[in-house]
Chain A
Amino acid sequence: MLNRMLLIRGLFCIITLFASNAFAGQDDPWLMLQKASQAARELSYKGVFVYQSGNASKSVQLTHMNYGQGEYARMVVLDGQPREVLSQGSDVAIYSPKNEKIMIEKKRGQNMFPALLPSNISALKSSYQAKNSGTERIGGRDAFVINLSPRDQMRYGYKFWLDKEYGLLLKTMTVSDHGDGLEQIAFSQLTLMDDQSMDWFKPKFDPSKSYEMDQDGPAKATDSDMDWDVAQLPTGYRKVDQVKQPLQGKSGLMTQMIFSDGLASISVFIEPIVKGVRPKVGHAVVGATHFYGLVADNHQIMVVGEVPENAVMQFANTVNFKDKK
């Protein structure tokens, strides 16, 4: 009797497995996220999105074009200080007025909304669990909702709304372990473009103002610049970059390592403590960003990231100074 029950259960399990495999192509949340990552880079679209973090909120006009000759994008910040971002491939230029000049900051490309998801989605699987959670309407468009919940306390969860028709990311929300939304970016309006004109691809600032390149910024650091490392990286995190810059008005270097699990990122800053400068210690939080500072081995350690308090604390506490030879 018992054996027969087990047999029936086993058969039932096999049937459900078959059924879920048959639908995997359409319903697999990881595949949908992979599609969203591609759509954000390959489609041509324009719209307005709203960024909200803590009490701050800003609207941004976005135009993105890719007709097979690479990506061109322009973001215009509509609220507060005027600011424009133009990007071509991985080259980004940020235009912002400062006094009577327009400052231009050139930098390496980052994943910007709606292309926030990494190209290699499977790298997220060790850190997050993905789950479909129904449909919703965002900015006049129908969307699938996907929940990404963290496998440990070293990162937040995320919620993604993906356009049913184009697969494009329409909205993203960073979610705390209590389920509260901490930060969100969402299209309030979005249309696909079929116009190939490039007239829009230029900054719209007063042409009578002079332009100035912003020279400040950190330089790439080599391994020999770093006399420390983070001893135990939590699952999923890897070092993505390391930079150095001179301490303002003092001798010595501030070094920075950047770690990422594909979505969440954490910076660890280390600088020697200079006489007369008060070290910064303790914990602070703004929106989804946590800060944790401490002093070790006569160095100021500061960890900053869009991750829970646990994570910044763990990174700060596992900084390991190499023996000086």
Chain B
Amino acid sequence: MKEKISALMDGDLALEDAEYLMTALKTNGEAAKSWDAYHLIGDVMRGSNVLTPGMTSRVMQEIAKQPVVIAPKARLLRNTTNLWSMAASVAAIFFVSLVIMHQQTQEAKNAPIEIAQNVPSEYLLAHQSMSPSNTAYFIQSASFIQDK
């Protein structure tokens, strides 16, 4: 049976010939577990991080069984202090940059646009439409207006 499951997974067994196997997988707990286990082995061999659902719950159970260490060792304490100060500086940098970024976006929102790079064609049309002598408006000749 297990050999058949393995063959099916590797594609060595045609799906048409494996109808009874599929039924077994659905009903038989033993066959289903093998299916899960083989897939897990395959995943690990391929270096994939995808773990089967059964595996996950077992790992969580194992972790729960471990005793919780409340007092860290002295040597570790020194490291943690360093870590804390590092964390504090990282947080400070993050905070400062956040403030700067916020200011910049605020400024960008209100910063004037140089019209040399961005000709305000909406004003041009309004001007041409109203000025007493203007053939251009009737022809709509300005090429950049057509792009709008």
Contact = CB atoms under 8 A, between A and B. Distances in A.
B20 interface: no
Interface string A81-98: 101010000001010100
Interface stretch (B1-9, B73-81, B86-94, B132-140): B132-140
A53 B132 contact: no
Contacts of B126: 218, 256, 267, 269, 304
Interface residues of A, number: 56
Interface stretch (B38-46, B60-68, B116-124): B116-124
Interface residues of B, number: 32
B136 A118 contact: no
A230 interface: no
Contacts of B124: 286, 289, 291, 304
A284 interface: yes
Interface in B10-43: none
A240 B132 contact: yes
Given A56-B143, A111-B133, A94 B138 contact: yes
B144 A112 contact: no
B123 A291 contact: yes
24 contacts: A51-B135, A53-B136, A53-B141, A56-B143, A60-B139, A81-B140, A110-B137, A110-B138, A112-B134, A118-B132, A185-B135, A218-B126, A240-B132, A256-B130, A269-B126, A278-B110, A278-B111, A283-B116, A284-B120, A286-B124, A286-B142, A289-B124, A291-B119, A302-B123
Interface of B: 109-116, 118-120, 123-124, 126-127, 129-144, 146
